[in-house]
Amino acid sequence: MSSRPVKKALGFLRSGRVLVGAALVGIVLFSALFAPILAPHDPQEQNLVATLVPPVWSVDGDPTYLLGTDSLGRDVLSRLLHGARVAMTVAVLASLGAMLVGATLAHLGGYFGGKLDWLIGRAVDVWMSFPPVVLSLVLMTGLGAGISSVILAIVLVDWTRFCRVLRAEVLVTRHQDYVAAARLVGFSHWRTLTREILPATLPLLITLLSIEMGIAVIVEAILSFVGMSVGANQSAWGQMIADARQTIYESGWNLLLPMLAIFFTVLGFNLLGDGLRRTLDPRLLQAREL
């Protein structure tokens, strides 16, 4: 009897999307955490004798540089691994920040309604009418380059995504009788919000968080591509793409490898998010049980 809800809670592990997504994200996360140990070279170490070495599987490959070197003779594998650190830092911190701002406002607005809700709703409307890329570039110009600015810019641009979607979910839950019942048995607003409403919106929150992490990876890549993210002494995937642009005809792999890294990371987050949505959303759950 008690095993059923447990099985239900762990049901998401059976979904193929979640498994593949989690595996991809897990690999990237692992690389990021252990980059200093895993990387065979210092990512900034230049070897001007061995520039543009192709990956090891090509004819001219060199086993010391498994994925080859770039135009300055830096080891591509090491740079990719260290790039994952930047990507993951931004992904986790920026999406958590955006979630915190967006979800808080969504819950307050949706729960209390009235003037507060109106105010938050209009703020979201105005905010969303700016093109996001332009907005983040403007913000970056104001904040100056650097990884913390990238995080702040993403938080400031993307909180609206959480706010709008979650507010609708809060509204639906708010009108359930059990929320009114909780107030009637004496729950404070805070307790009602955290014990009755938040558990109902949590699945959506987790899903949005996962998707937002993928978006954050792309935004970070764009900003480091135009040189507004980390400095030249650190490696980031967008920066690697920008560098490899000049030698695209000599060494296509230099361009392709960071692109593949971005692609699989974002794919992983999206699969994870989509899979979680399918397994955690109670409405979809009910439809399947019928």
Binding region for other proteins (CB under 8 A): 1-2, 4-5, 176-178, 180-188, 191, 195-196, 199-200, 282, 290
Closer of 182 and 213 to other proteins (Cβ) = 182
Closer of 84 and 182 to other proteins (Cβ) = 182
DSSP letters of 208-232?
Answer: HHHHHHHHHHHHHHHHHHTT-SS-T
Considering the complex, what minimum distance in angstroms separates the CB of residue 113 from other proteins?
13
Residue 45 amino acid letter: E
Closer of 144 and 282 to other proteins (Cβ) = 282
- Main-chain dihedrals φ then ψ at residue 268, nearest 5 degrees: -60, -50
How far apart CA 288 and CA 290 sit, in angstroms, is 6
Considering the complex, what minimum distance in angstroms separates the CB of residue 252 from other proteins?
49
Closer of 143 and 285 to other proteins (Cβ) = 285
Residues 87-123 as b or e (16 or more Cβ within 10 Å = b) = bbbbbbbbbbbbbebbbebbbbbbbeeeeebeebbee
Considering the complex, what minimum distance in angstroms separates the CB of residue 115 from other proteins?
16
Considering the complex, what minimum distance in angstroms separates the CB of residue 215 from other proteins?
29
User: Strand, coil or helix: what is 191?
Assistant: helix
